[in-house]
Structure 1
Amino acid sequence: MKLVGDRDLIGRTVADAMPEIPRQGFTALLDHVWETKEAFHGESLPVLIERPDAQEPDLRYVDFIHQPIKNNRDEVMGIYVQGIDITERKSFENKLHILAHESAHRVKNILAMVNAIVTLTLRSQKDKESAIAAVSARLQAISAAQTTLLDGGTSLQSDLESLIKNALAVAVDTFGNITISGPKTNISEKAGLPLALIFHELMTNAIKYGALLKSTGKISITWFKDDDDMIHIHWSEIGTVNSAPPEKKGFGSALIQRGLSFDKRNKVDVNYNEQGVSCVIQLAAAL
């Protein structure tokens, strides 16, 4: 009933009961079935449904069957019409598609991070035993960080400094050229997980392409809260090997840009300049 709502359909034409339907070409489809005597099957067709109590039309997705009803002389006497609202299924499929892309992206990032960290760790150790111990410790740290991100954020700290240090723990321990400083600041529970994912993404990009790719690179993370209870976080990379913006924005860029979009006051701005990559995050403070 989500398609028609509480409209009275009995004894009325489609054009009279639902005038928005002919405007979208569906009546023409019926005419085509009548004229050609051939059935029509349509999958996932978008249909805009107008509601009396809504300013904007409701977008639904429908599987249609238009089957001509013929007599024994092969004349069309009517058309059997069936429409199945698959909007919820379509939404679920879209979410699965996004989840698949996110999973593939995260796996690639983890492998790139493991490769960079293991390589640097092996170079910095003097003997086999210490190298094995250091690599094992850092792999465990990576595993712990992934568990934190995947548990829905329940173990993420509300303190901004603790959250940043937890998200960047592996990089701080491995590279050592990362500074984190700012006043004690609490963040909302809702912002915890997306903010941790953003820092994790920035860290991974720095390892793969940015300041952490070379020993001369540095990263500085600072923040402050203004009089309007807005938190301003600055991520600055210096000594980036390639600070040119990517030719094509991938899933990671979308994650950084949209992660905090649940509040219209939140903003994320990523810049690429001669000094390196910088990211400025504007975040509504916890109440």
Structure 2
Amino acid sequence: MGCRVNRERLELALKAAGLGEFDWDMVRDVFAISPRMATLTGLPAGEMPAEGGTALDRHVHPDDLAELREKRAANVEAGGPFEAEFRQIRPDDGRTVWIRCAGVQFPGPDGRPAGVTCIVDDVTARKLEEDQRQTLMSELDHRVKNVLATVQALAYQTAKRTTSLDAFLQNFSGRLKAMGSANELLTAARWRGAAVDHLAAAELGALAPGQTSWDGPELFLTPRAANALSLALHELATNAVKFGALSVDTGHVDLRWKRLAGGGFELQWTETGGPTVSPPARRGFGSTLLEQVTGRELNGDAGVEYRSAGVHARLRAGPQAIAPRPETVPDGPQVARVAETVVASSGPASLKGARVLIVEDAVLLALELEIGLSEAGAEVIGPAYELEEALALLDRPIDAAVLDANLNGRSVMPVAEALAARGVPFVFATGYGEAGGAPGGFNAPVIRKPYDVTQVAAAVAALLRST
């Protein structure tokens, strides 16, 4: 009676877990396939000749058969638990599924092996997830290396064409920010591309309000084309702010694009109302980037005209630059700059005597901040790399703070709340793309990573002047 009850409980447990089972009677050389295993594998339920334990081998994927046989032979020899994962080709519908088989050998009255009892599970879904995860990791590795190579090239080319360290830092930082904006838009679409109007909003939306406009049909670009267009718009906008239409209050930039009949698109950048324009005396990397790199990356061409009334640029992209718009893309532009409220400093900021707390989990960034703020005259508190470190420093006198929004996966909000309660101002330096203002709803300046340390120093100095 007790054995029957135990067997019934085992049946209920196996059913609840979605598992199948089979027995191999080694004395009779017979497999006994349960109905649940039949459902999982497509094999017929009931007894069948075991053929020395190899009867089911004909349904195992050829690439997994040798390893399975090796494990089975070792188990028959040594006894004890047995476990294997392999692909099986179902005999009923031809589908390939992943099977996990775990069993144990039991002896007969004479002590010799008499049989094996196995539990069977369909682990196809888990295997697919593992394969997808590995594919994503490989793709991430590829993209990271591409990004690092691009950053290296930008640094080298920018350095070759600038005559001072300050100019290099300003130009290089701006280009990194353009790449960062494009990257966040691509991330929002799971790296399937970005829309032209989103790229325009990210680059021009917070620049000279009321002096920029953009319009055109909905176009979704490949990641490569999106990065190229983002850099191109950044170069044009930087030039417009320094020398062109956006250097005066009366100027305007109009950005328009249209589809081309043969596929692809054409984009026109037109500046009006600014100073009289003349061709530059020398070609910088920005011009090379626009006219050579951007055109190639867009599978088209690009050109800039220095008309006296204002700069005019034309970018033409081939059909290879266009990607299908995925359903998961956010409807709004999702400007990734999180209403960045601090612009690059036009000169060195003075933080003489100010006690500034640095909370940053990236050691190199923290070191750069520490050096930069110290050179500006600040007494640096920290840096704190972890939340607990930052909280432990709050009992010290602090005049202002620079906070990374995320510390190794943990929110910096407890530190921000404590500082706010004490009336200590702080600035967020973040790589996250929260929309609608500062993280946590605080009324605090936000600086987007990557940033220039002089920008952080200027933000802290402005905070101290306003308190």
TM-score if structure 2 supplies the norm length? 0.33
Task: State the Cα RMSD in Å.
Answer: 4.9
Kept in 1, the 8 Å contact 2:37–2:45? The answer is no
- 2:180 matched to which residue of 1? 143
Q: Match of 2:89, as an amino acid?
A: L
Secondary structure in 2 aligned to 1:131?
A: helix
Provide the secondary structure at the position in 1 that maps to 2:47.
coil
Alpha carbons 1:156, 1:163 under 8 Å: kept: yes
Query: Which of structures 1 and 2 has the larger relative contact order (alpha carbons within 8 angstroms, sep 6+)?
Result: 1
The alignment partner of 1:126 has SS state of coil
SS at match of 1:90: helix
Q: What is the CA deviation profile of residues 211-231 of structure 1, one whole-angstrom value per residue up to 9, with x for unaligned ones?
A: xx9999666469xxxxxxxxx
1:47 aligns with 2:88: yes
- 2:357 is matched with which residue? none
The runs of 5 or more residues in structure 2 that have no matched partner are 1-17, 19-35, 196-217, 237-256, 262-287, 302-317, 326-467
Partner of 1:12: 47
Find out whether 1:235 has 2:299 as its counterpart.
yes
CA deviations on 1:147-176 (whole Å, 9 max, x unpaired) are 111112599323157987643135536899
Q: Provide the rounded CA distance (Å) in 1 between the counterparts of 2:323 and 2:289.
A: 34
Q: 1:35 to 1:137 in 2, by over 3 A?
A: closer
What SS is found at the alignment partner of 1:84? strand
The AA in structure 1 aligned to 2:39 is G
| Paired residues for 1:186-201 under 5 Å | none
Cα distance, 1:112 vs structure 2: 1.0
- 1:64 alignment counterpart: 101
Encode CA deviations 1:66-122: one digit per residue, 9 max, x unaligned: 432213421333321222222111111111111211121111111111111122122
Question: Contact (CA 8 Å) 1:44, 1:62: kept in 2 or not?
Answer: yes
- Residues 4 and 162 (structure 1), Cα distance of their counterparts in 2 relative to 1, 3 Å cut: closer
Q: For residues 129 and 29 of structure 1, what CA distance do their matches in structure 2 show?
A: 66
Verify the 8 A CA contact 1:68 1:76 in the aligned structure 2.
yes
Give the match for residue 141 of structure 2. Answer: 104
SS for the counterpart of 2:114 is: strand
Identity score, percent:
14
Say whether 1:38 aligns with 2:79: yes
Show the counterpart of 1:79: 116
CA distance in 1, matches of 2:290, 2:219: 30
**Alignment pair present for 1:24 and 2:59:** yes
Say if 1:171 and 1:183 are closer, same or farther in 2 by CA, change over 3 A: same
1:233-274 per-residue CA deviation (whole Å, 9 max, x = no partner) reads x8269xxxxxxxxxxxxxxxxxxxxxxxxxxxxxxxxxxxxx
1:168 aligns with 2:215: no
Q: Residues 103 and 116 of structure 2 are in contact (CA less than 8 Å); yes or no, is this contact kept in structure 1?
A: yes
Distance 1:221 1:42, change over 3 A: same
Q: Does 1:120 align with 2:157?
A: yes
Q: Which residue of 2 aligns with 1:184?
A: 259
Counterpart check, 1:156 vs 2:194? yes
- Superposed CA deviations along residues 188-215 of structure 1, whole A, max 9, x for unmatched, are xxxxxxxxxxxxxxxxxxxxxxxxx999
CA distance in 2, matches of 1:150, 1:284: 15
- Give, in whole Å, the separation in 1 of the partners of 2:69 and 2:168: 72
Secondary structure, counterpart of 1:5 in structure 2:
helix
Task: Pick which of 164-173 and 141-150 moved more.
Answer: 164-173
What's 2:435 paired with? none
1:10–1:101 distance in 2 versus 1, CA, 3 Å: closer
Whether the aligned pair in 1 keeps the contact of 2:179 and 2:230 (CA below 8 Å) is: yes
The code of the aligned residue for 1:5 comes to: T
- Structure 1: where are the runs of 5+ without partners? 177-181, 187-212, 223-233, 238-278
The structural deviation recorded for 1:137 is 0.9
Deviation at residue 63 of structure 1 after TM alignment: 2.2
2:71, 2:82 → 1: CA distance?
A: 11
Could you state the TM-score of these two structures normalised by the residue count of structure 1?
Answer: 0.51
Distance 2:71 2:171 in 1: 70
For the residues of structure 2 that align with 1:220 and 1:121, how far apart are their CA atoms? 19
Structure 1 residue 60: Cα displacement: 1.3
Q: Which amino acid counterpart does residue 130 of structure 2 have in structure 1? A: E
Larger Rg: 2
Q: Is the 8 A contact 1:33 1:39 kept in 2?
A: no
